[in-house]
Structure 1
Amino acid sequence: MIAMSQAWSERMLKIIADPNGSPWRLCGGGAVGGSESVHRDLGSAVWAAEQALARSPGGGFIEIHHADGRIEWRNVPRPEVLLQPLPASSLRDAFGRVRNVSQPEVPVEPPQPPQAPQAPQAPQADSLRDEFGRVRKQKKYADKAVEHFLGLVWPALCMLFGSALSGAMADEVAAQRSVLGVFWATLAWSSGVALFVFILTRKFKAGPVQYSLLATACLFAGSVIAVGVGHGEYAAPIEWGKYGSQPLAWPAPAIAAAIDTFGWAGALIGGLCGAITGLWAVRLSEKI
């Protein structure tokens, strides 16, 4: 029994923690030289104990006494395995000498090949059909509004204020009952307004002079369209420059020609119908 106890003690190493937390003390028996060593952390102490037991026949046991009173045992059954060189990663963890020095390796992703730009997709027929349906629905409401105004409201106003409203709207405009009818009757004016609204919805930077020049060009184009079609043109040529050479006065002659030809009420409702038509054209062009 005494011999067995002696053999057992000779094959056991103790690692005892300092109550203050560090270092760790390694105590050896007779088979490992009876020496004692101090280590800065538990990993390095365990590694030193395993190497010492590798030189003891049959391996041995490691008894670890933690600072909180816990006791842990580790068996070292195969010394030949322990004699192998310790990997660099284990050395780094055991000795703690290069801890927090080397940065963690970040995997480098291979560069992605450039993707070819996707061709613009053709508009779906269903989307264009739905948008056209919404425009038709809006046109129906606008036609009803024009019909009620020109068929009911305007005659009532003329009866109440006949002399004051004399010549406020041309007969060909008052006879219409739809947006496109008013647009066609005032084509020289309404088409210019529609073209101006259509271009105005495009996002671009401009000042008052540029907007005035754009309005003048659109109203001039509307007068040319009416003359080419042979319907809805002005009763007299536009007197360009009649109101001065200031940029804000450039579109004034076309506006005056529209009022002289269609009356101020006719020019107003014709301009509104032109603006509505321009907005419808914008919505449909965005779907094409």
Structure 2
Amino acid sequence: MKNILIPTDFSESAEHALKYAQMLARLDGATLTLTHVTQPFIPDTTLPTGDIGIGVGALAAQEMEEISESQLQQLAARLQQEGFTCQTESRMGSVEDEIIALADEQRPDMIVIGRHNFDSFFDRLTGSAASDVAMQAHCPVLVVPSPEEAQGAAIQFKHIVYATQLEFDENHILRPVVDLVRRNNARLTLLKINADNQPDVNNSQEFMAQIKQEFGQERFSEDVVHADNVSEGLTGYIKTHQVDLLVMVTRERDFMSRLLNPSLTKRMVLSSSVPVLVYHAGDTKGADFL
């Protein structure tokens, strides 16, 4: 891994995610790219109309941009003092759009982003910048839950769970996961949820045989859980086992599918109490990012 992109809004959630990025950067001496996105000025209807109102709003936006840039540079300086190679990128615009655009430009090996705590059903329904980035970025994305949701969990990857339905050839994604396991001296569990609402389509044993042939049985253990649905099964497994990282794979779907049936990966990104590392089945870079 050579470059990790870390969006920050200088919140506790962003600081918590940064700790995971630091942990990963230490493995290979990766560069940390810090980015902050300032949202553009939107005229306030309560301000005076005309040039005066616009001027006041624009000045406030400029001050916020300058404050954010100062915070970004201070954060970079702190990381450099701690021995990390660090660079910064300031952007203005829609948070998720700018993060994805920057990732397309820089081609980082991973994005590490914090997820804020959701206080209401509406928060979960509308989603977050973190989930949008995770679903749309063209590189692996690690989404870290807020410190409150993490409940003091250690910053470590000692038990990594790879969620799979064994319906597709996923060896190209498993390769970097197995490498991550090796570098962290961790253990890997391949977890399959037998869900009542999701019948098996393909022969699971065929795909498991392919995995064993390439990686060897000693690289991982297998676990199968029965549940009403996959998200319930994954959530229950995390609650009853010591899991440090959940790895999931998402696949491209059309607009109507996303609208009528939000993806399992997105639901877990929004609700998981442990970090979720999201791969995209179409990624070509994902096979060698570590």
TM-score bin, normalised by smaller chain: under 0.3
TM-score w.r.t. structure 1 length? 0.22
Greater relative contact order, per chain length (Cα 8 Å cut-off, separation 6+): 2
- TM normalised by structure 2 equals 0.22
- Greater per-residue helix proportion: 1
Q: Looking at CA atoms only, which structure, 1 or 2, has the larger radius of gyration?
A: 1
